[in-house]
Amino acid sequence: MRIGTTMGGYDRFGEQKYLKIRAHGFSAVDFNLSNTDSPFYTLTLQEALLILEKEKQLAQEAGIEIWQAHGPWRWPPQDATAAQRQERMEKMQRSIVMTAALGCKNWVVHPIMPFGEEDRDTDDAPRTWELNYTFFSQLLKAAKAHDIVICFENMPAPKLSLSTPSDILQFVRTINDDHFKICLDTGHAAIAADEPVEDCIRKLGANIQVLHVHDCYGGMDLHLLPYQGIINWPGVGAALKEIGFNGVFSLETGAPQRLPDPLFEEMTISIANIAKEIIK
């Protein structure tokens, strides 16, 4: 198992950013394609692909693998109408093309929320499932065309009918395709699941394709560093080994971006060492 990081804060280093990531102890990154107001979506597709090709080259030269990319998401949800879902579909299909251009195989995405984040145990819950099934069955065609694995992420919303690791597992089993797997978000699981994160890992097993690793206090999605919250990190490391997870222990947290460069680097190296300790 290797360790990876988000790229938050690394843009300060320009074209040296992947070299810095490597020097800090990581071998993989989670590339951010979530903001649809960014140039990746406002430029023409060909212009965006040229930028991404350069990113791919810089990462390869530094010995860094772009292991996963995060697809579009927005808050609050805007999935209530057919037009809104079609707009999101188009952005997601473009994001899949851009993920492939990075040489990346794993693409993380959230469920659509046509009735908001509080539909559990209501008459809207079956419709949420149905609309997600229709949406992602269509999106799966684009993913398979580019050999991309859609990694369906559990959410930090206990009242959403498609949020917990158990919900996500049932949905993934219903889709039943090797190009549709799970992104287990540890912080989200600590908020919404009714069992410890390490037990979620054992339940999901080989369906886990990628990870979002961070901590929380159990009530808010704070993206804390490991050991700052309530998660049992030795238990998480043991459970990942137990299921034979051989992907990337990918952190979705990091040093504050406001830190001066020397302190940012020092703290990031320490964070990498924490991750290494958890998985050793």
Q: Residue 254: its pLDDT value, please?
A: 97
Q: Residue 273: its pLDDT value, please?
A: 98
Q: What is the mean pLDDT of residues 115-138?
A: 98
Q: Residue 18: its pLDDT value, please?
A: 98
> How far separated are the first and last CA of the chain, in Å rounded?
9
Q: What is the mean pLDDT of residues 190-199?
A: 97
Chain mean pLDDT for the chain: 97
Q: What is the CATH number of domain 28-224?
A: 3.20.20.150
Q: Residue 73: its pLDDT value, please?
A: 92
Q: What is the mean pLDDT of residues 34-61?
A: 98
E-strand stretches of 174-279: 180-185, 208-212, 248-251
The pLDDT tens digits for 70-86 are 999 989 999 999 999 99
The pTM of this model reads: 0.97
Helices 125-145 and 82-101 pack at an angle, to 10 degrees, of 30
Long-range Cβ contacts of 82-86 (<8 Å, 24+ apart): 85/112, 85/114, 85/131, 85/135
Cross-strand pairs, 182? 152, 208
Q: In the structure, what pLDDT confidence band is assigned to residue 185 with cuts at 50, 70 and 90?
A: very high
Q: In the structure, what pLDDT confidence band is assigned to residue 41 with cuts at 50, 70 and 90?
A: very high
Q: Which two tokens stand for residue 205?
A: 């097993």
Please state the domain extents for the chain. Answer: 28-224
